[in-house]
Each structure stands twice: as structure tokens, then as C-alpha cells.
Structure 1
Amino acid sequence: MQSTINRQKTALTVSQLNREAKSLLESSFFQIRVLGELSSFSRPASGHWYFTLKDDRAQVRCAMFRNRNMSVRFSPKEGDQVIITGKVSLYEGRGDFQLIVDSMESDGEGKLQQAFEALKAKLSSEGLFSSAHKKSIPSHPNHLAVITSPTGAAVHDILSVLKRRFPSLPVTIYPSVVQGSEAPQQLIQALQAAIHHQTADLIIIGRGGGSLEDLWPFNDEALARAIFDCPIPIISAVGHEVDFSISDLVADLRAPTPSAAAELISPDQDALRIQIDRLSARLERQLRISLNQRQDHLNALKKRLRHPGERLREQRSRLDFAEKRLHALIQKQLTKARYQTDIAARQLERHHPARQIEHMRERLNRADEKLRRAMVNQTDRQRYQLGNLLTRLNAVNPLATLERGYAIVQAVDVDKRSPSGVTNGPVITHANDVKIGDQVINRLRHGNLICRVEAINSQESINSDEAIPSSNNLNSPANTVRNDKEPS
């Protein structure tokens, strides 16, 4: 009896076994990719897909729920060769081994996906996707270049959005096919033309949605490198939101759709006003609802209180107080909204280009005036220094000394080549340098005197009376200088 009880305690129920097996499978296998052929494909009213994936030796049941199969970009059918991505699981109710599918692609798309991943890894290792190389997108572009098919939906969507939001933006369309083997080269040529014209400061390149094969030109390596080397910022808008291409990764910005790209670059001038109006309407609506609710509540209280009294007055007082608080809150919110609007308007006015230009012009005028004052001051200082130098130079100028009545005495050298027959010799600084009868040249401020020495006084110092002969002794021998020749 005891042995039977122990066996019952250690035995698993069928549901426990299936639950443990499911847990073990889901924890042992993470997301996997499986290649096989579709079989027993069914689409019940629930929107889920149930099918069998098989090859020539085995098969496995699969389930793909509605929220996942909506992203499949082709219509699967019996016999299709597909690659599914999902996780291993077990259906507990029947104990069936199955795959829960997250995504499905045709076998051809699988090869393209492999090529996409290989090119993505290559360009990523070279740094083409690095954010350090991304150029900033201008918030207010001056000229837009659009590289796409001129007959496709993408160009129509872009122009429609710009016409509605930013009609003054100039747009140049560079036509190119966006599908097929010739598309990459034409896209590169259109990009080079936009760079050569040098008119656009922003480029949108892209197309509408399609299959992976349709979008494949935007996974071209040469096009990716041309986008990377482009000096103009580029927005890539290829396909739908779920589509990703190499162009999206290498461009300066990716937009989920062409319309979204146009939305991104077109400033909405009325956005703030619309938002304020929407908030104001919402606030008014909420206040009206609140007031109606309170009024209904008050009416209910009136019906319940057949005999008005102190309680009714108290309730009315509380209602009045709540209404005042509500009005005060409304006023406060409206004041706050107006204040924020005024701040935004002042900031916009302060950053207006005209204000900036005026500010820079004032700074330039002040700098010009400061430079002029500095030049005048520098000129005055240089003129003052030049005057001082001239004064100092005049002080040591020998001609200034001669101006006060002094003379320079020089010996006479005979020079037959000179018209006068004599030339200036060395300066005589001592009486012993000459003897009586020698000729000397006295250099005055105006002209020279050739004189003959009649007497010599070799005393080192003489008083003022001896230095300057009086008028009564001018004819004495010691002060007589004979002028043999006319001054030169």
C-alpha cells in the first residue's frame, strides 16, 4: 500500500509532462530559421495561419498568429519554398511539437536577405553607418532636391505634404528609375547632378513601398558609398516603415516613408497655435463637463433635501467655494498658457535674423569707432614722441651752438684742387695746436672766416673778462685776427 502511494507521488500527470516538455523546448531553443515547403496551409476566420513545413524526409506543424502574419509582404500558398523565423514550442492540449512563427519570407528573399546582411556587416565595419559621420539636417532648408521616379507615388506624396505645410520651399526633382538593374547607376548620376548644381542644401532620396526585390537598388554598395561621400545632407525614405535598406543606414537621417520625410523637413507654422486651440477647447470641454456634473449633483441633493436648512446652505457654500477654485484654476491655467505663448513669441522675435543683423551692425560700428579713437591716440603719441626727439636732437646739434655766436676753429690745409686753395683741417681744441702766423678757419653759423694767428694765450682757464675782450681793446695785438681772405 505504501509503495503504491509513493509511486503516485512521483508520477507526473499528462498536463504536467506536456508543460515540462514545453518549458524545456522553449528554454533550449531560442529564435531559429527553418527552410521548408508549405503544406496544409489554412487561414481561419481568426486571421491566424496554420500550416505544415516539410522537406523530403520530415515535417513540422507551424502556427503564425495574426499580429505577425500581417507583416508578410507576399501571399504564401501551398508548395511555396519559404524561410520562417520563430521559436520551438509544444501545444500542451495535444502534445504536438510545433513552431511558433514570427516572420516568413520566400526562399529568394532569403538569399537577398543574406546578401543584405553581408553588405551591412561590411559597410558597418568600415564605419559608413557611424553617427560621427552623420551631417546635421537643416531645420529650415532653403532648397530641396528630390531623387526618385517622377511618376511614382513618392514624389506626389512629398509635394503634397510640402504644398500643405511649406509651400514656399523650392524643390528640384532629379528623375531616376527606382527599380531594376539600371536603377543604382541612375540614382548615383542623379545624386552627382544635385551635388554639381550646388543649389540644394538638402536631398531626399527614396521611393514607395514594395517587395525586397523592388527595393533592392537601394541596397547597392556603390550607391551607399556615393551617399556617404555626398557633402549635402541626405534623408533616405525608402518603402514603408517596416522596410530597411542600406541607403537608410548610411544616410544622415532615415524617414519611414517619403511623406514622413517631407513632414520632417517642413516646419509647421501653425502647430503651436493649433495646439493651444486644442488645449483650450479640451479645457473648456472638461470644465463644461465638470460644471454639468456638479450641477447634476446639486440638483440631486436638492431633490433629496425636501426641507432646506443648514446642510443645504453648507453644501451651497462648498459648491461656491469649489466653483471659485475652479475658476481660479482656469484663470491660472489660461494665464500660464498666455505667459508661455508670450515667452515663445519674444524668443522668436529675439532670434529673428533682422535683430541679429542689427546687433552685429551695432557691434561693428562700436568696433569701428574704437579703432578710429585708437588710431588718433596712437598718432598723437607718435607726434608727441617725435617732438621730444626733435627737441633732444636740437639740443646736441652743433648748428644750434653756432646760432648763439660760437665758432668752430679748424686748421687750414693747402689744397690746390680747391677753388680757394685751402681746405678745412682738423678742429683745434688747444692753443698749443697752432703757432703765430698760422692760418685758421673760423666756421660761423653763416659763412667761414680765414684768419691769421697774431697772438697765443695758452692758459687753461680764463675769466669772463679775459674771454670776451672789451670794446676798448679790440685793436690790441692779442685780440687782432687778420682777415687775409674773403669768407667762403
Structure 2
Amino acid sequence: MELFKEILPQHPYTVAEVIQYIKDILTFEPALSDIWVKGEISDLSRPYSGHLYFKVKEENNTINCVIFKNRAINLESQPQNGDEVLIHGKIDIYPKNSTYQLIGDQLKPAGIGMMQLELEHLKAKLGKEGLFDEEHKKPILPFPQKIGVVTSATGAAIQDIIRVLSERYPVVEVLLFPTLVQGNEAPTQIVTAIQMANQRSDLDLLIVGRGGGSIEELWSFNDESVARAIFASRIPIISAVGHETDVTLADLVADYRAATPSSAAEHAVPDQHELKRKIYDQELRLLQDVRQIVKFLRTELQVLEHQIPAERQLNRINLIRQQIGQMQLINQNTIKQKIHQLKDILNLCQQKQVLLIKDLKQTKETKLQVNTAKLSQLNPLETLERGYSIVSDTKNKPITNASSVKVGDTVYIKLSQGELTSQIISKKEIEDG
């Protein structure tokens, strides 16, 4: 008994203390309190409590997982056994049976989840380098003369952009730099198009983007090379990736982010109707200001006429009259200039509209010619012109098979020029096959 007393500790740990010690180690280990785990779901259970219990396995290795109800109800999609997933959470110990488990707060399909993880890492990297900082944003010119568009030549985005620009500001010119906007080759083409645009000296603005699509289809605009090309652009860039909720790296780096191609075009140019209204309002305000000044000077003239001696009074009167004349001349010239500017804008708009109508007419005429040619090929009379004929019986019913007539029957033959009446003197039937 003395021997046992020597080897036994004076203060042994309780089971609860050991479990708590392990729990503290897990809790305060950063790598285990904020962790992503990839694997296949198995043994999924959904009890009435609303919690999710399952295992994440990889070959012969498994981890017990739980997602509590308050997190489970907010999952983007409900998991199933066999799903490859990414689960985020922290490692904890379950005291009742001393087993560790992953308490999850996020769950994503493995494919999209990995893409999102890579995107978050890349976003943090570029953000640290300052690519998203406001101090690097270039101003958008209020009256651009020529706009470059980097997008697909066949997509809806370019059509929407041209339509909005034509309606709002017809005098602006549009230059397309066609690229792929999805797929493995799209990022390289987008970067090349941006670099080509920057080699020109006549572009005031670039619109870079595409129409809507799934997050996978928009992924080219999360490519690091595209983000860096936008950042390096000398020309201001409006991003126009057509997705309201998903913000791409291109959106974050661009000088202005528009939710759709149409809204990008709206932000790129002023509205011609609003410009006309502003010019008119400025003319009215200027006219009122000039009238007030003239009124003030006339009043001052009347006062001075009674205060200044005759000789000085005459000089002062002449000076004020000159000032009044100059103000009236300035008023007339300013109004004429404003009217001239407005006429120039209207003329440019009308010229642009004439060109658009001419292009539309040419397109419709070409389409009409193609359809006319197709109809001509289907016209039976055209077939007759090539030496064929139409044979019908006495009831004017077309004959297509020798079995439908007998020797001695009368038939009518329709030619390209005229008709013939013939009598069957012999016939030969051709068997099918």
C-alpha cells in the first residue's frame, strides 16, 4: 500500500477538467476556430429540432458535423447525402461522449465554394494593394465624344448600349472591341481589348462588360488579369456586368460600376433633352440678371443726375450709358451663342437619326430581297420555266402516279407557255423500292 501511495498524484484531474482543458485548446487555436473543410456528406440526419447532423468524409476519414437551426434555415441549398461540400465553422468537443465535432455556420457546394474561396483570397490581395481605393478612380467626362465598348459583338449588351446612347446623346461615336465574355479564353481577350483601346488617343471612355448570366458565366470578370488591366487603363472605365447582386472584381476596380449595360450607357452620356432644358433655364436666368443690372444702372443714373455738377454729371451719364449699351450687347451675343449651340446639337441629333433610319431601311430591304428569292424558288411557275410541267386529269386534279390513270384517258399538260391536251396510249408503273 505504501508503494501505491508514492506513485499516486495528490491532485488528479477530474474527467470534466480534462474535457474542459481539451475544449480550451480547441477554442483558442486560431486554425481550428475559423476553418473550411472539404468532403462528402454522409449519415445526414434532420431531427424535429431543425438542426442538421451529418459526417463529412474523405476515403476512410470522417468528421462529425452539426449545423444548428438558426444557421440551417439560412443555407442557400439543403445538403444531401453524397454531396461534395465545403463547410465552414469551428472544431469543438462534445462532452457527453468526449468526441470532437465541427460546428458549421456556412455550407457551399464544393465547385462554387472553391471558386468563392479563391475569389475572397484574390479580393483581399488586390484590396491590400490598393486597387479598389477611391483615390485611384478616374473621373468620367461629362460630354464624351467617342466611347469604346469591350463586349461580345453578338450579345444583347452592345445592342442595349447603342440604343441608350442613341436616345440620350446621338452625337457620341461608339467603337466596339469584340471579345468573348465567358469561357477559358475570355479573360485573355478582354485584357487584350482593353490594352488595344488604350493605344488610341481619341477615346474618352470605355464600357467593359456583358449581359446577365449565372455566377459561373460572369467569372471571367473575376479574373486577376482583367482586374489589373482595368486598373492600369489610362482611359476611365465603367464596368457593366449585368448582375444586380454579384459584384465582380471588375466592378470593384472600375472607375464606376453600373448594374447593367443599359445603366452604364445612361451614366456615360448626358440626356439631350435635359441639356436643352438647362440651356433654356440659363438663358432665362441670364436675361433676368441683365435686366436687373440695367434697371439698377438706370436708377443710379437718375440719382446722379440730381447730385453731380453739370460737367461731371454729363461724363457720368455717358459712362453709364456706355455700360448699359455694353450689357445689352453682351446679353444679345450670349443669347445668340446659346441658340447657336442648341442648333448645333439639334442638327447633330437629326443627322444621327437620318443615318440610323437609312441603316434600318437598308437592313429591311436586304431582308426583303432574301425572302423574295426564297419565295420565287417555291413558286410552281418558276419550276415550269425550267422545263418541267404539271399534268392533271379532266377534273383538274394533279396526276403524280401512273396508277391513277388508264390507257385512253385524256389528260391536260400545263407548260410554262400554254397548255396541251393529251391521251394516254401507254403507261409504265414504277414499283417502290
TM-score normalised over the length of structure 1: 0.40
RCO comparison, higher one (Cα < 8 Å, 6+): 2
